[in-house]
Structure 1
Amino acid sequence: MKHVVLPPGVPHLPHNLGEPKHGKLSASQWHALFVFIIPIVLLDMYLDNVGKIDLKSNLYKFLVNTAHLVQCTNVVFARKFKPGDLKRFEMHHKKYSDTVGELFDNIKVQPNHHYSLHIPQQMTAWGPLAGVSDFAGERLIGFLQKIKTNNKIDEMHKSMMTRGCRLQRMMEKSEFHQLTQPLDDEQDLKPRQLKSIRLTESRYQLLFNLVARNNHDVGSRALSGLAKPVRSINCNGVVVGSMSPRNCVVFESGGKTRYGLVQQCYQYDNHLSKRKEFMLVSRITNLYPKRTEPIPTRPFRYLLFLFGVVVGKVESSEEAIDPSQVISLAAYHLLDKNTFSISENGIALIPRGYDAFLNISGQSEQ
């Protein structure tokens, strides 16, 4: 679990997860666990031969049951959805409920199980549930619960008021506002002077092809071949860099969704002498898209489809992309050799989006 790289903004889980010492998980941590951690970790732990999966085994039934729950989680946390997504939630919830009793004895129906049946009606009436959730109120309740009252019930209101006033006074100080501002990796005490380097012939050709796609009037001598390496690039609010956890990207190319690992970010002056940026990525080939024909790896591909996981190989060839092509970052795990029948450079990734449904079907991209 500790080897799964989570994008910025996704809360990290306690290193001792499963032990009583780590305490309770927050709602965002539960979301990260079910959407990013469990799908990648479970498949890596329990599946050795992806071409020989026993469909009648409890292991396969357990993985499918968990995948149905992950699908429900994606719908609940979606920031936009279609009516068909609510039908999909009902289908996956029913399959999860019907199969959980076959896997575990003495399962009791909890109030939350009944409550979840009303989620489609709530989303139809209110829209995405993230817009009506009271996370701020939950955090306030958690804050109040942690206040020590020394078992003096008659003085509880005084203790809470005193603690709250102290916190409010601290939050009004300018030093507190400075402390809560996010750090910018590009800002140092002394501005770092970026030095230009000359691109290699292969990388220059990638840059030229990128510029020529959008500017047909560019000539072969219009670009100087000089570029400045930078740590990161802001791609419409998504900060991308060549180091984890910002280096696994989902991007659009040729009208299709692609995946890649960022190798380097650059600034350059285009043929109009305007400052531009671009990235060099190693494309990730999706080796196991969903297939409907009867092939040995079909059950494994179905599990990946349900979990929303892309399993592929990091190619050695590079591709230049523009910041406008970037869709999102992705959580990922670099696989050991021969994992999922991938000899080397294997990777499992999950895009960081708030979509109700992740479609990873299609043919393998070579």
Structure 2
Amino acid sequence: MSERPERIFPMSRPAGHVPPIARYSSRFDHRPERLAVLFMGIAAEEGGRAALALSDFLAIACRSADAPAHFDRATFLDANGRRNSVAALYWPDRSAYGRWVETPDVAAWRAGHRALAEDFGQWWEPVNVAPDRSETIAFAEYRRGLSACPFSRLEQMGETGYWGAARDRIPASGWDRLAGEVASLVALGRTSESRGLRLAIRPPSGLAVIRSGVSWSACGAEQRESYERNVRPKLDAGMEYLRRNPVETGCPALRQVVLTDNEGGELEEAYSLGLFLSLGHLEAWAKDHPTHLAIYHRAMAERRKYQEALELRTYNEIYVLDEHAADFEYVNCDPSVGLIPYFAARVLASGT
């Protein structure tokens, strides 16, 4: 792993800034060349089918010597009324993921044979990036996603609580503007159906993938009521705005999911999984749009009110893809899913 270049772009952190509350970022002692994360989902019309299929997939996924080091499960109802069962899987490096994905059982699943035979949708969005093109922020006692991996340790940092903090937490922002390959989102206006096909789409360089989560499970009565009344409606409104305005925001996909246990029971925690054309597109919404300003100011009000007694827990992780990104794949999916409406696709297989 080569040494980092010298910083040439200044940080946004104000001089003398003191974080309003202690937050932590993931660090890795094994110095991976590239991290590997897989966000995947199964969408089915009939109740229970998506969850059962995901359970079968995860059983296959964990049989390999290169099984994911950590995964979690979630669920959401998409705009087409299909129940999506979602998994986020993490590996310590891309080479382990590469070996895993080539094992016969995983390769067969990825190919979509079962999805085509049983008529469910399957989306498969792998993320592999240099650690310098990623960031995390978490509470020490609330570790989710990348921060929950056994190869990840937490280190307290000061880049939190001000505009531009997320970019400051991405080391590569010191020498790279992290601009997107695609400046604006244009719907292709497809009339052809993607159902019955296995499609591959190369995500554009600079695409920012964000997982941003919240847990209210540790909240007592007062802070739970405040979350439900003051925070959650603003969060839901912001996510709804992004879902309804992909072209204006440069956000081709926004999935708002609820975490589940292994039996499919919903937990008191959720996250939003968003794709933005660039980190700049994400920042523009976060800094300037009323829906995010409402979220931000309400969250800061909660911090100021409860300070160290704050019981609501949040985290996020951001990955900025480069030219070496792996294909996103969609099997038997609706034309509105993921990147399908906006980017050229290659047909890898047809079930018809």
TM range (shorter): under 0.3
Task: Return the structure number with greater strand share.
Answer: 2
More helix by proportion, 1 or 2?
1
- Report the TM-score when normalising by structure 2: 0.23
TM-score, reference length from structure 1: 0.23
Greater relative contact order structure (CA < 8 Å, 6+ sep): 2
Q: If you compute each CA radius of gyration, which structure gives the higher value, 1 or 2?
A: 1
